[in-house]
Amino acid sequence: MKQTPFDKQRQQRYDNKQREFLLAIITDEDDSSQVELDDGQTAWRSTLRYDELVREATGTYELHDIEEDDGGEHHLISLIAEGGRGAEFSELVMFGKHLMTFDDRTGLVCEIRHQNQLVPRQILMTGSGDEKFKGFKSEWATIKGNELIVGSHGKKPEEEWIKVIGRNYGLQSINWHDNYQALREAAGLGPEGYMVHEAAEWHPQLQKWLFFPRKISNQAFEPQHDENCCGSNKLFIVSEDFSDIQIIEVGEAIGERGVSSFKILPGFPNECVALKSVEVGNRTETYFFAFDLQGNVLHADTLIGHYKCEGIEIV
């Protein structure tokens, strides 16, 4: 009997009668991730938190914290670093029965077991993997068929490659320059403009890509302008071959907030839950929100922490 592909399994875990969902959210705290263990060893730490999501009969959402004492928060410890940094996990994806996460500093791909155990499965290298000894800046990930697709910002040439990981963790690197360029052209960006991608999903029912860029700018990169003014509210709905691109606006754009992760809600293929991140100087914040594919906001931006989270998944 033919097995249902992983992407459809992921969306069929619940049906449209489901009202309560468990969300997993992971932090990427950059330089703050370094810690010293009890034995004096240097390590790097990320926090995995769980929240309860309730979908009301009206189609709106409520988010409830799960206290740390009730199993709502766990620490993930990594001993692998690059340039003195590690455990900067930027995405969460259910790959079959495994919850996967991706370090955007080292290129490490891990399974998360028992809420607090990291099991390394791959190390992704920048660009094609042949240019230099540097970890791939993993920023978004999704499932297409039985493959795990991992992408980066798409802003620089080495960030336009994607990594395709098979169900047995075999690896391919593919240059996606033309696809990223199609998105830039659809947004009307000139040669100085740029987009920063941290959130994408393959929609198995629609057979389309969904991209929600964190940043869109019509001018050359300038740090203060990028931090304060470039947060995007534009969702790109894209045909499989990138020949047809529809852009819709979701709520109002808030310049310092940009989407860092979103997921299609199982059982409700028109609805998504998402995170927005803020990085302005030393200030970091994360907001939860929900929306549908017509651009309606189903849950307004709600602050969930004064730290940066860049991965969300329904488990």
Instruction: Note the pLDDT of residue 212.
Output: 98
Instruction: Note the pLDDT of residue 29.
Output: 78
pLDDT for 87-104, tens place per residue? 999 999 999 999 999 999
Q: With a threshold of 0.85, does the pTM exceed it?
A: yes
With contact defined as beta carbons under 8 Å apart, do 48 and 76 qualify? yes
With contact defined as beta carbons under 8 Å apart, do 212 and 260 qualify? no
- Burial pattern 9-24, b for ≥16 Cβ within 10 A else e, equals bbbeeeeeeeeebebb
Average confidence (pLDDT) over 234-259: 98
Instruction: Note the pLDDT of residue 189.
Output: 97
Longest dimension (CA), the chain: 56
pLDDT higher than threshold 70 for residue 1: no
Instruction: Note the pLDDT of residue 69.
Output: 87
pLDDT higher than threshold 70 for residue 196: yes
pLDDT higher than threshold 80 for residue 117: yes
Average confidence (pLDDT) over 185-194: 96
Average confidence (pLDDT) over 241-246: 98
**Which domains does the chain possess?**
6-314 (2.120.10.100)
Of the chain, the percentage scoring pLDDT greater than 70 comes to 100
pLDDT higher than threshold 80 for residue 31: no
Instruction: Note the pLDDT of residue 173.
Output: 98
Q: How is residue 71 written in tokens?
A: 């199993």
Instruction: Note the pLDDT of residue 98.
Output: 96
Closest CA to 44 of 55, 32, 53: 32
pLDDT for 38-78, tens place per residue? 999 999 999 999 999 999 988 889 999 999 889 899 999 99
